[in-house]
Amino acid sequence: MHSRLLFYSFLVSGVLFSTDGIAQKKLDRKAVKQLKTDISYLASDALEGRRTGTAGERKAADYIEKRYKEIGIAPYRSQYKLPFHFVYGKEISPNTQIRLANTPIHFPEDGFPLPFSGNKKIHSEVIPEVMEAGNIWMVPLYNDKDEAENPHFEAEKTMYNKAKDAMTNGATGILFYDSYGSKYAPDFNGQSLNETINFPVAFLTFNGYQKYVHNQNNTISLDLDINIKKSERTGTNLAAYIDNHAPYTVILGAHYDHLGYGEDGNSLYAGKDKQIHNGADDNASGTAALLEVSQWIKKHKLHKYNYLFVNFSGEELGLFGSKAFVKDEHVDSAQVAYMINMDMVGRLNDSTHVLEIGGVGTSPAWSEIFAKQDKNFKLIFDSSGVGPSDHTSFYHAGIPVLFFFTGTHKDYHKPSDDADKINYPGEVKVLHYVYHIVDEMENKPKPKYLVTKQTSVGKVNFKVTLGIMPDYTFQDGGVRVDGVSENKPAKRAGIQEGDIIIQLGTYKVQGMQSYMEALAHFNKGDKTFVTVLRDKQKMEIPLEFDK
Ligand SMILES: [Zn+2]
C-alpha cells in the first residue's frame, strides 16, 4: 500500500445496538446468510469476472437491480441502471485491412496491426528480408529460435524500436512475422503504452506466415490499410434512493465491476492462461455490504437525510463509473452531506482486527466520530480524501468522504479472490460499524468539508513520491497532474496542476503504468529532472525527492 500517516486507535468497549443479544445474533446470522448468497453469485464463474461492458457485468447489474426491488428501495432516476460512456485503450477499427497477394488476412489468427501503428494506407511489392528505402519492409520478429523460445523476449518493445529504425531508414511501413511458431507470440495489446508512430506497423502470426509467406519465391503484393482508434466503452452504474424530503443527501457506494479474465492488463496473476478473476473481496464484498446496509437504513427508517445508494462500474479501469456519476448526475456538494465508500470489506483478519478507514481528514466531523472507539477493530486511519477507489471522485467534488477497507491480501487482483475466502461474520461486524456511523450522523448537522494532504498513489509501494494526484482518465500520452500536494517534491519544484509529465529523469512517461515504473527507479533524496508539457511547451524542471 501507499505511504500514509497512520495512527492506531486504542480500544474501549461500546455497544452498537440496544437490541437484546439473542435477537441480534439471529439478525446477524440472517445477514451472514444474505452476504453469502450475494457474494457467491456475484463472484461465481457465471459472471466471468464482471468486466466493465461485458455480459458478466450486465448479469451482475440485473442481480443488483433485482435485490433493490426485493428490499423495496426505488430507483434514483426512472430506472436503476445508469449507463455511461468512456474511452479506454485502443482497438482496431473495422475498416482496417491487411492484404497479402490481394487476400485480406483474418484478425487476429493470421495477424493484426500493432496498437502503436500510424493510420495509413500503403501498397508495396515486397520480398521478405529485403530492406529497400521507399518500400514496406517484411522482416522476422525473432532473429533465431532462442529468441522465439525466450519467455522474457519483449516482442512489442522490439517491434516498436525496429519500426522506428525502419522509418528513419526510409521504409514506408513494416510487417513483422513469426517464422518459428513461438508460444510467446504477441497479441494485440490495447493497453500498450507505446506512443503512436506516424508509420504503419503490423504483425503476421505463424499461422499467417505459413499461409502467405513461407512458400513464396517471388515478390508478394502487400497492402496495409490501418486504422487504430481509441476504444470507446460503455459501463453501467446503478442507483437506488430513499427520498425523505430532507434538505441533504447521504451517498453510500461500492463498485461491482472487476477484472474479467484480466484482459485490461490490471491482473497480478503471473500465468499466461486466461482465468476468471472472480473478485469476491474486490468488490462483491462491498456490493453485498451496500445492499445489506441499504436494507438496514430502510428498516430503521433513518430519515434526517435522504439516502442514495450507488453501485459503480468502471472502477478497476480508473474510477470511470464514479466520475461519470458525479458529472452526469450533477452531484452538488451543497446538497450532499457526505459519501461513504466500501471497497474490499470482506477480509477482516480475525487475529489483527484491522479495519482501515480513509478520508478521515475530509471533515472535522470525522475526528469527533472516530474519537469514540470500537471494541471490534484495530482502526487504522488515513486522512487523505484521495485513494485508490471511488470516494476520490466525490472528494474532488468537494464532499466529505469515508472509505472502508479490510486490507490487501495475497489474492488481490488474482483469480484466487474467491467467495470461500470471505470472512462473513467479520463483514457483518464492519457493516454494523458503518451503519453505526450513519446512524450517529443522523443527529449531526451536514459535515464541513476539508481539503486533505494527498498521500496516495495507488496500491503500489514506492520509496519516493512526487506528491501529485494523477488524472487517471487522461489518455493522450504522459500523466496529467490533477492536483499538487503541499510540502511535497512536486510542489517545491514548481510543478502545477494541468502539467503533463512526459519524462522522469531518463525514463519516458507515456501513461500511469510507465509513470509508476519510472518512479520505482528512484530512492529517497535523489535529484533528477521532470520533463513536463505546460501549455504545449516542453519544460525541464529540477526536482529533489524527500530524504
Ligand atoms: Zn480492484
| Confidence check: pLDDT of 18 > 60 | no
How much distance in Å is there from the Cα of 507 to the middle of ligand 1?
27
pLDDT band, very low/low/confident/very high, at 444 (cuts 50, 70, 90): very high
Neighbours of ion ligand 1 (CB under 5 A): 282, 316
Please give the pLDDT value at position 372. Answer: 74
- The alpha carbon of 304 is separated from its chain's Cα centroid by a whole number of angstroms, namely 34
Share of residues in the chain with pLDDT > 70 (%): 94
CA-wise closest residue to 9 among 353, 346, 351, 286: 353
How much distance in Å is there from the Cα of 282 to the middle of ligand 1?
5
Whether 401 and 509 share a structural domain: no
How much distance in Å is there from the Cα of 337 to the middle of ligand 1?
26
Please give the pLDDT value at position 1. Answer: 22
Q: Quick one: average pLDDT of 396-419?
A: 95
Asked if 524 contacts 466 with a C-beta cutoff of 8 angstroms, the reply is no
Q: What is the pLDDT of residues 98-129, one digit of tens each?
A: 999 999 999 999 999 999 999 999 999 999 99
Q: What is the pLDDT of residues 182-214, one digit of tens each?
A: 999 999 998 887 888 999 999 999 999 999 988
Any alpha helices (H) in 230-285, and if so which ranges?
A: none
Range of the domain at 197: 94-226
Please give the pLDDT value at position 449. Answer: 95
Please give the pLDDT value at position 4. Answer: 26
Asked whether residue 450 is assigned to any structural domain, the reply reads no
**Pairing, β 121-126 against β 537-544:** unpaired
Whether 510 and 477 share a structural domain: yes
Please give the pLDDT value at position 89. Answer: 85
Whether 177 and 64 share a structural domain: no
Please give the pLDDT value at position 522. Answer: 87
- Whether pTM > 0.95 for this model: the answer is no
Whether 122 and 101 share a structural domain: yes
How much distance in Å is there from the Cα of 412 to the middle of ligand 1?
7
| Confidence check: pLDDT of 456 > 60 | no
Q: How many CB atoms lie within 10 A of CB 368?
A: 12
Asked if 139 contacts 222 with a C-beta cutoff of 8 angstroms, the reply is no
- Under DSSP, the state recorded for 241 is E
How much distance in Å is there from the Cα of 255 to the middle of ligand 1?
9
What average pLDDT does the chain have? 90
| Confidence check: pLDDT of 331 > 90 | yes
Q: What CATH number did the domain enclosing 540 receive?
A: 2.30.42.10
Q: How far apart are CA 61 and CA 306, in angstroms?
A: 23
**Pairing, β 354-358 against β 74-75:** unpaired
Please give the pLDDT value at position 8. Answer: 28
How much distance in Å is there from the Cα of 307 to the middle of ligand 1?
25
Whether 214 and 247 share a structural domain: no
Please give the pLDDT value at position 462. Answer: 64
Q: What is the pLDDT of residues 486-515, one digit of tens each?
A: 788 999 999 998 999 999 998 889 887 778
Asked whether residue 453 is assigned to any structural domain, the reply reads no
Q: How far apart are CA 320 and CA 341, in angstroms?
A: 15
| Secondary structure (3-state) at 537 | strand
Q: What CATH number did the domain enclosing 43 receive?
A: 3.40.630.10
Q: What CATH number did the domain enclosing 146 receive?
A: 3.50.30.30
Asked if 464 contacts 524 with a C-beta cutoff of 8 angstroms, the reply is yes
Q: How far apart are CA 419 and CA 279, in angstroms?
A: 8
How much distance in Å is there from the Cα of 233 to the middle of ligand 1?
18
The total of structural domains in the chain comes to 3
CA-wise closest residue to 432 among 36, 73, 31: 31
Final residue belonging to a domain, choices 226, 256, 283? 226
How much distance in Å is there from the Cα of 544 to the middle of ligand 1?
32
Whether 172 and 302 share a structural domain: no
Q: Which triple of cell numbers denotes residue 331? A: 452531484
Q: How far apart are CA 478 and CA 538, in angstroms?
A: 12
How much distance in Å is there from the Cα of 477 to the middle of ligand 1?
24
pLDDT band, very low/low/confident/very high, at 523 (cuts 50, 70, 90): confident
How much distance in Å is there from the Cα of 133 to the middle of ligand 1?
48
Q: How far apart are CA 488 and CA 481, in angstroms?
A: 14
How much distance in Å is there from the Cα of 534 to the middle of ligand 1?
32
Whether 47 and 123 share a structural domain: no
How much distance in Å is there from the Cα of 380 to the middle of ligand 1?
20
Name residue 273's amino acid.
Answer: D
Q: Which residue is listed with cell 428501495?
A: 73
How much distance in Å is there from the Cα of 281 to the middle of ligand 1?
9
Please give the pLDDT value at position 476. Answer: 77
Please give the pLDDT value at position 5. Answer: 24
Please give the pLDDT value at position 453. Answer: 67
Final residue belonging to a domain, choices 178, 195, 226? 226
Sign of the C-alpha dihedral computed for residues 448, 449, 452 and 456 taken in this order: positive
- The alpha carbon of 373 is separated from its chain's Cα centroid by a whole number of angstroms, namely 32
Q: What is the pLDDT of residues 131-172, one digit of tens each?
A: 999 999 999 999 999 999 998 899 999 999 999 999 999 999
How much distance in Å is there from the Cα of 518 to the middle of ligand 1?
22
How much distance in Å is there from the Cα of 283 to the middle of ligand 1?
7
Please give the pLDDT value at position 411. Answer: 94
Asked whether residue 456 is assigned to any structural domain, the reply reads no
